[in-house]
Amino acid sequence: MPRFLGIDIGGTNVKAAIVPDDGTVAAFVVRPWSGGPPADVVAAARELADELAPDGPRGIAACGAGCAGLVDGVRGVVYFSPNLPAWRDVELARMLSGALGIPTLIENDANAAAYGEHAAGAARGAANAAVLTLGTGVGGGLILGGKLHRGAHGFAGEVGHATIDYDGVRCVCGGNGCLERLVNAEAIVARATELARGGHTRLADLLRARPLTAKDVGEAADLGDCAAVRTLEEIGRLLGVGLANLVQILDLEVIVIGGGVASAGERLLVPARIEMAARVQGPSWRLPRVTLAELGETAGVVGAALLARDRLRAQA
Amino acid sequence: MPRFLGIDIGGTNVKAAIVPDDGTVAAFVVRPWSGGPPADVVAAARELADELAPDGPRGIAACGAGCAGLVDGVRGVVYFSPNLPAWRDVELARMLSGALGIPTLIENDANAAAYGEHAAGAARGAANAAVLTLGTGVGGGLILGGKLHRGAHGFAGEVGHATIDYDGVRCVCGGNGCLERLVNAEAIVARATELARGGHTRLADLLRARPLTAKDVGEAADLGDCAAVRTLEEIGRLLGVGLANLVQILDLEVIVIGGGVASAGERLLVPARIEMAARVQGPSWRLPRVTLAELGETAGVVGAALLARDRLRAQA
């Protein structure tokens, strides 16, 4: 069976995997990485490839690499990456291909993760799907008509920076009331801190010791902490507003929620589904399934590898 | 050259046109119609077809009909239409085809108009485009990857009922802060009335005589009426918020604005472009053109006819 190399370049680490034709993960490594020039990530990719495939890259048919930011997958250029501020107009596909000695494509990381969930995860079989990655940022990738929707320049799927509150709180992107600003990990921590402060709950006790994390909020909610439960209920509702917008605009079959924040699971998804249903007109059978991602931290590497597989096939 | 029949079923009239293969309009008629059972519109379509094509429908290769509401173009069913509350699960494609004696498809009217602008109007040549129709309602149709994007059930493009103010004013659809509620003809009239009331401008004089219309506001703005100018500036900004969301989610090449409200032209589009640009991150070359529709009231019939043309071709 042909094998593919998937790479996922993040702000804090680089992931790599060997992905056979069937979309499973044969081997997976994560290496801490704190940013740096493109040549560094190319060298790291080469080392990871050697580690994963001791026979050398010759055993691998092609490579796909996901990277955050404005990525033009057709031209193979990273225009801009929020995690890598020094990167501008980097011809990453050409550089990786030269270092690895195999055909290499690049893609926006959220698009790659969406393709992974579509090809081998929770959006399998759905021709119209959105995959949202909730964490520090809120990324998105769209499968429309059975294909990854890249848009005019490869920048589609920036669901996190669509606004649901045009006069609302300022977002890092310069907009106001962006979905990301309202439902990301920081928003969860801020609201939970506000609700817990001065109280006598588990979360309040924790808060007296150290700043909260989004994970704390999820864990406290599982133990019935009312500030935590209420936080996830409120944030879930806001998430549902964003999901309703996607449904109105795109008419989807499934929406997949992944990323660190998604570990709060049904406590977040139940209010999100309720809010979505309240805002979408028409028969209830038109509503998409809203479900948790299945591939976890391998979604990006699997998706990038399978995009490389499919491009190779299309060219054959 | 093969000819096609395009029909556009609205709340107040039925339009029909003969559209040759090249997307021009060979003949066009509008008949007032105030709603009624599906059989009425089928009879009207037959009469319009006879009027437009005295040789009988045999001279016409196929028919396409646009209709407001939740329309499943693949199954040929109108599930629900806001203008025609008695219509439920109407097999309109089958009924029209039987009466006309030619293959007939149906489509959501905003989708049909979008396809018309894509095939023969202001979105010609753009693989990724949105066409918004601004009037009493705000309809939308999407061209993605060069094709009409229908979504999972044919309901995609409901841009007017995506929210930009989740806790905002109630919309007829049951949502809050829907784009439609904030930028439709009613919103323009309400804001202009508020700003003009008690003043000494042209619009204020008019307002003392009768309730304003959106057309009044556009005309008064052309004459420099400051309440009218400010209204269109504010509404244009809100429109721009909605456009920014489409760009973030879909990465478009062009956004086409049509419908009655679009007669305000650049007074609406200039602030919309400014607001859109302020809210979309990344290089300025990624921003879509925002331009007025070219086909006017024939967009729906042209688009429906050309959808029928293209389905016939695909089946050949």
pLDDT score, position B234: 98
Single-letter residue type at B68: A
How many percent of chain B have pLDDT more than 90? Answer: 83
pLDDT score, position A58: 66
pLDDT for B58 beyond 70: no
Mutation site for A-interface testing, chosen from B247, B251, B276 by largest number of A Cβ within 10 Å: B251
Q: Which of B40, B118, B83, B43 is nearest to B299 (CA)?
A: B118
pLDDT for B28 beyond 90: yes
Nearest to B153 among A157, A165, A251 (CB): A251
What pLDDT digit, counting tens, does each position of B121-141 carry?
999 999 999 999 999 889 999
Which chain A residues touch B171 with a CB distance below 8 Å? none
A283 touches chain B (CB under 8 A): yes
Inter-axis angle of helices B202-209 and B226-250, to 10 degrees?
Answer: 100
For residue B13, what is the enclosing H or E element? Answer: strand B13-20
Residue B40 structure tokens: 């009425």
- Contacts of A306 by beta carbon, 8 Å cutoff, 6+ apart: A4, A6, A19, A23, A64, A115, A116, A119, A120
A281 touches chain B (CB under 8 A): yes
Band (B281; pLDDT cuts 50, 70, 90):
confident
Which chain B residues touch A157 with a CB distance below 8 Å? 249, 251
pLDDT for B86 beyond 90: no
b/e map A240-268, b = 16+ CB within 10 Å: bbbbbbbbbbbbbbbbbbbbbbbbbeebb
pLDDT score, position B200: 85
> Of all residues in chain B, what percent are helix, strand and coil, respectively (each to 5)?
45, 20, 30
Q: Which of B109, B108, B131, B106 is nearest to B120 (CA)?
A: B131
- Contacts of A234 by beta carbon, 8 Å cutoff, 6+ apart: A191, A271
Contact yes or no for A80 and B161 at CB 8 A: no
Burial class from Cβ neighbours inside 10 Å (0-12, 13-18, 19+) for residue A227 reads: buried
* Pairing mode, strands B88-90 and B147-148: unpaired
Region B218-242: mean pLDDT is 96
Cβ atoms within 10 Å of A213's Cβ, excluding its own: 15
Could you give phi then psi for residue B21, rounded to 5 degrees? -45, -30
Terminal-residue alpha carbon distance, chain A: 16
* Pairing mode, strands A3-9 and A62-67: parallel
Residue B25 structure tokens: 């309009």
Q: Per-residue confidence of chain A (316 residues) as pLDDT tens digits?
A: 789 999 999 888 999 999 999 999 999 999 998 888 999 999 999 999 999 987 766 689 999 999 988 899 989 999 988 778 889 999 999 999 999 999 999 999 999 999 999 999 999 999 999 999 999 889 999 999 999 999 999 999 999 999 999 999 999 888 999 999 999 999 999 999 999 998 888 899 999 999 999 999 999 999 999 999 999 999 999 999 999 999 999 999 999 999 988 888 999 999 999 999 999 987 889 999 999 999 999 999 999 999 999 999 998 7
Q: Which of A32, A28, A33 is nearest to A18 (CA)?
A: A28
Residue A152 structure tokens: 């005019």
b/e map B32-52, b = 16+ CB within 10 Å: ebebeebeebbebbbebbeeb
CA distance linking residue A252 with residue B149, whole number of Å: 11
For residue B17, what is the enclosing H or E element? Answer: strand B13-20
B289 contacts B254 by C-beta, under 8 angstroms = yes
Strands (E) across chain A are located at 3-9, 13-20, 27-32, 62-67, 70-72, 77-80, 88-90, 104-108, 129-134, 138-144, 147-148, 254-258, 289-292
Contact yes or no for B248 and A166 at CB 8 A: no
Terminal-residue alpha carbon distance, chain B: 16
pLDDT score, position A57: 64
Contact yes or no for A147 and B147 at CB 8 A: no
B127 touches chain A (CB under 8 A): yes
Contact yes or no for A152 and B241 at CB 8 A: no
Nearest to B245 among A142, A152, A163 (CB): A163
Band (B57; pLDDT cuts 50, 70, 90):
low
A165 touches chain B (CB under 8 A): yes
Q: What is the pTM of this model?
A: 0.95
Contact yes or no for B251 and A153 at CB 8 A: yes
What pLDDT digit, counting tens, does each position of A35-89 carry?
889 999 999 999 999 999 877 666 899 999 999 888 999 899 999 887 788 899 9
Nearest to A163 among B127, B153, B241 (CB): B241
Q: What is the nearest CA distance from B1 to chain A, expressed in angstroms?
A: 31
Q: Which of B46, B66, B54, B65 is nearest to B26 (CA)?
A: B54
pLDDT for B186 beyond 90: yes
Which residue is listed with tokens 């407001």? B68
Q: Which of A151, A128, A246, A251 is nearest to B252 (CA)?
A: A151
Band (B85; pLDDT cuts 50, 70, 90):
confident
DSSP-derived secondary structure for B121-136: STTTT-SSEEEEEESS
A46 touches chain B (CB under 8 A): no
The C-alpha torsion from A258 through A261 and A267 to A268, rounded to 10°, is -70
Nearest to A249 among B153, B158, B278 (CB): B158
For residue A247, what is the enclosing H or E element? Answer: helix A226-250
B159 touches chain A (CB under 8 A): yes
B277 touches chain A (CB under 8 A): no
Task: Output the average pLDDT for chain B.
Answer: 94
Does residue B51 sit in helix, strand or coil? helix
Nearest to B282 among A155, A176, A251 (CB): A155
- The size of chain A, in residues, is 316
